[in-house]
Amino acid sequence: MIIKILNKTDIPGLNNLPPLDWTFDYEQFLNEYIDEDYFHAFVMIQDDQIIGTGNAFMKNKVAWLANIIIDEKHRRKGLGLQMTKFLVDYLISIGCETQILIATPLGAPVYHKAGFRKISEYHCFDSDTKINYPVSKSIRLLTDDDMAEVYKMDLEVNSENRTHLIRKYSSNGLGYLNSENKLQGYYLPDFSRGLIISKDEKAGIELLKLKHSKIGMRTMLPAENKEGIEFLARTGLKKGEKLIRMLLGKNNNWNPQHIYSYASGYCG
């Protein structure tokens, strides 16, 4: 069994790896990021067959681990832990100081064995019915002039530079502006499940209303954002299992109370 860098020729067929309940087009995801310098992807091979994968996104000494997946026939053999340890060691070797991931309750014990510690929990809500929320007049499309403030707000909230990802998904992004035309929060619908960051409670709630006016939307937000959780619970949205944020290495001083919807497990 070996672990090697994933090549484009390895991608076809990898949609068979994730569990069905992920409803995840893994091949599309890999094709979207494989040429980016901040993306590191590996495959685990046994008898010339890919039996597992692992990815990492790294920028400025902060990395996110994602898609540590082992083929169903090879699970419960310690291979998930092996892939995790490989990624951890690889990231340290290229200068990473903080490693973060989001785990299911089932996967958390594996990551704990690899040295990760629990930092927080995320609450999950799904829209399974249409809710006719009126769109606030304070919400409009983001412009190029807004982007410096978007980047600044995201850095203050997440304590990591995600400009490269925000820029990638900002073309139809929306912002909530106050009466003085100052940006209070933003929503990027195309950034995976839909990222919402806001330092103002009213703005965050209005952006959540906009998101959940559609059926099939999923929001995960940190336990520290009590106002957002209480609002989504009151609306009667379907509540899912809690996920666990875990960290290895140096703490990053994030402000989870301002995260109204995380984008994805590969970037929080």
Mean pLDDT for each 10-residue chunk of the chain (268 residues)? 96 91 89 97 96 97 96 92 98 98 94 97 91 92 98 97 95 97 97 96 97 93 97 92 96 96 93
138 and 185 both lie in a single domain: yes
Structure tokens at 218: 């999923």
How many whole angstroms separate alpha carbon 176 and alpha carbon 181?
9
Residue 20: the pLDDT is 75
Residue 220: the pLDDT is 96
191 and 249 both lie in a single domain: yes
Q: State which residues form the domain around 191.
A: 125-261
Tokens 């992807």: give the residue.
Answer: 41
CB-side exposure of 94: number of CA atoms within 13 Å?
A: 18
How many whole angstroms separate alpha carbon 65 and alpha carbon 89?
12
Residue 236: the pLDDT is 87
- The domain total for the chain is 2
81 and 144 both lie in a single domain: no
Exposure string over 85-113, b if 16+ CB within 10 A, otherwise e? ebbbebbeeeebebbbbbbeeebbebbee
CB-side exposure of 204: number of CA atoms within 13 Å?
A: 23
Residue 126: the pLDDT is 93
187 and 143 both lie in a single domain: yes
Q: Are 101 and 65 in contact (CB under 8 A)?
A: yes
Residue 12: the pLDDT is 97
Q: Is 66 exposed, middle or buried (0-12, 13-18, 19+ CB in 10 A)?
A: buried
Task: Kindly report the CATH number assigned to the domain that includes residue 183.
Answer: 3.40.630.90
CB-side exposure of 10: number of CA atoms within 13 Å?
A: 20
90 and 133 both lie in a single domain: no
